[in-house]
Amino acid sequence: MTLEQLAKQGRRKEIFTTAFTINESICNARNENLKRSFVDCEHIKHRNEFVAMRNGVSFINDSGAKSLSATWFSLENNAEPTVWIAMSGNEDYEEMIPVVRQHVKTVISIGNDVEKMSNAIGYLVRDGIINVANIEEAMKMAEEKAVSGDVVLFSPGCFAEDKVLNKMERVFVKMAKE
C-alpha cells in the first residue's frame, strides 16, 4: 500500500466517522424540522429521488451516491426493507455491515468485481450477493425479490463515470415507471 493510498483511506474513514457522528446527533435532535433539514436530500440531484411506486414497492434513484459513505447514509435513513442495486468496485465494504444487516434484504451488484463485496457482506443477506451484468438485469431481479412495502434503491456506492451512471439512471427510471 502506497503512502497516498494509506492517506486516502484515513481521510475516507475520517469522513465516514464524521457522517456517522452527525447522523447519530440528528437522530437524537429534538426539533423535527432540524432533523428533516439534515436528512432531506431533495435539493441534491439524483440523491434519494422517489421515482415510482408499483405493486406497493417504492423505487428510489440514488445514482448520485458515488461513495459507500453516501450509500450508507441513504440506507441508514430508509426504514423499509431494501433491495439495494449497487455497482461492484474495489471498496471497503466492511463499513457497510451494520447498515446492511439492519436495512437490506437483497443486494444486487452490477459488474464483474463482486468478490470483495461478497466476502464482506454477502453472508448478511439471504441470497448472498446477486451478480448481474447490467442495470436491466438488476431491475428484473429487483422486481422478483421486492414485495409490497419494500424499497428498491439504486445507489452505486462507488465511483463511476457520469456518462455510465447517467445511462444507468435513465434505464432505472424508465423501468421503474413501466
User: Considering the chain, what is the average pLDDT of its residues?
Assistant: 83
Q: Which of 20-24, 107-111, 173-177 has the lowest mean pLDDT?
A: 20-24
Q: 86 and 14, same structural domain?
A: no
Q: 110 and 22, same structural domain?
A: no
The DSSP letter of residue 56 is T
Q: 10 and 84, same structural domain?
A: no
* Sign of the alpha-carbon torsion through 124, 125, 128, 129: negative
Q: 142 and 64, same structural domain?
A: yes
- The residue range of the domain holding 169 is 44-177
Q: 53 and 129, same structural domain?
A: yes
Q: What is the pTM of this model?
A: 0.76
Q: 79 and 27, same structural domain?
A: no
Q: Quote the cell numbers at residue 128.
A: 448472498
- Rounded distance, CA 116 to CA 92, Å? 8
Q: Return the pLDDT at 37.
A: 47
- Digit-coded pLDDT (tens) for 6-65: 444 444 455 556 665 666 665 555 555 544 544 544 445 668 899 999 999 999 999 988
Q: Is residue 73 within 8 Å of 79, Cβ to Cβ?
A: no
- Rounded distance, CA 152 to CA 87, Å? 14
| Nearest Cα residue to 150 out of 103, 86, 98, 80 | 80
Task: List the CATH number of the domain containing 117.
Answer: 3.90.190.20
Q: 76 and 91, same structural domain?
A: yes
Q: 57 and 26, same structural domain?
A: no
> Which helix H or strand E contains 100, and what residues bound it?
helix 97-103
